[in-house]
Amino acid sequence: MGQALTDRILEAGTRLGLDLSAQQAQSLADYLVLIQKWTKVYNLTAVRDPEEMLTHHLFDSLSVIAPLQRQLADMGKGEDARLLDVGSGAGLPGVVIAICCPMVKVDCVDTVGKKAAFIQQVAVSLGLKNLRGVHARVESLTDGYDVVSSRAFASLVDFTTWSRSAVGEGGVWMGMKGKHPADELAALPSSVAVFHVEQLVVPGLDAERCIVWMRPVSA
């Protein structure tokens, strides 16, 4: 299963326009094994089937890498980029971003201590010096991140309201959603500007996915 799994990850990466190294594919496979192992004890994710974990979690998170890289390039962010993944849970997409974008410093914040501890364990186990688990409420963070992301965390209104203090100067929100969230977009306040809704295609997953890109509007 080991080599077959890394081969499938490399193939998915190619379909998503990514140039993953063999080491990155191995790290992603090892991360999946860690999720499976820890979920038995800590209930990190409701998805237990290994095949579903691969498509619904790993490939789903991989689909945001190329859009994120393009956005960071547009922002002129290179080695010093900082990303906060809100309500990260098992580290999706935060850990995947840390593996695929080693130049990005990734903090995964969760209010559940055991989930933040899992992220720390992943960082140690996979040697990811750019990854950190943070046990806190996102409202308490004021570090000034370039990108604040979420995946199935909350409505866009709640996500942007709770994490506003974490967005740095010139920073943006990256909200991962399923189908186009028209109702949520309509509910956003004037202090949040949506500048792009990007459709995603996830290998092996027959479901709608998109990223809602937003930025704060100064009063």
pLDDT at residue 138 in the model: 96
Please state, in angstroms and rounded to a whole number, the distance separating the CA atoms of residues 115 and 141.
Answer: 17
Q: What is the 3-state secondary structure (H, E, C) of 190-211?
A: CCEEEEEEEEECCCCCCCCEEE
Q: In the numeric block, which tokens belong to residue 21?
A: 């190294």
Q: What is the CA radius of gyration of the chain?
A: 16
pLDDT at residue 219 in the model: 64
pLDDT at residue 89 in the model: 86
DSSP characters over 2-40: HHHHHHHHHHHHHHTT----HHHHHHHHHHHHHHHHHHH
Please state, in angstroms and rounded to a whole number, the distance separating the CA atoms of residues 177 and 151.
Answer: 7
pLDDT at residue 40 in the model: 74
Mean pLDDT in runs of 10 for the chain (219 residues)? 87 96 97 87 68 87 97 91 94 97 97 93 98 96 96 92 97 96 97 97 92 92
pLDDT at residue 175 in the model: 98
Q: Which domains does the chain have, with CATH numbers?
A: 63-216 (3.40.50.150)
Is the pTM higher than 0.85? yes
Please state, in angstroms and rounded to a whole number, the distance separating the CA atoms of residues 150 and 45.
Answer: 15
Q: Which residues in 201-218 are b (16+ Cβ under 10 Å) and which e?
A: ebbbbeeebbbbbbebee
- Kindly tell me the burial class for residue 186, based on how many C-beta atoms sit within 10 Å of its own C-beta (0-12, 13-18, 19 or more): exposed
pLDDT at residue 47 in the model: 63
Percent of the chain with pLDDT over 90: 80
pLDDT at residue 46 in the model: 61
pLDDT at residue 34 in the model: 92
For residues 175 and 150, the answer to whether their CB atoms sit within 8 Å is yes
Please state, in angstroms and rounded to a whole number, the distance separating the CA atoms of residues 98 and 123.
Answer: 9
pLDDT at residue 2 in the model: 76
Q: In the numeric block, which tokens belong to residue 185?
A: 């977009």
pLDDT tens string 130-164: 999 999 999 999 989 999 999 978 999 999 999 99
Please state, in angstroms and rounded to a whole number, the distance separating the CA atoms of residues 22 and 110.
Answer: 30
How many separate helices (H) and strands (E) can be counted in the chain? 9, 7
pLDDT at residue 36 in the model: 87
The secondary structure of the chain in percent helix, strand, coil, rounded to multiples of 5, reads 45, 25, 30
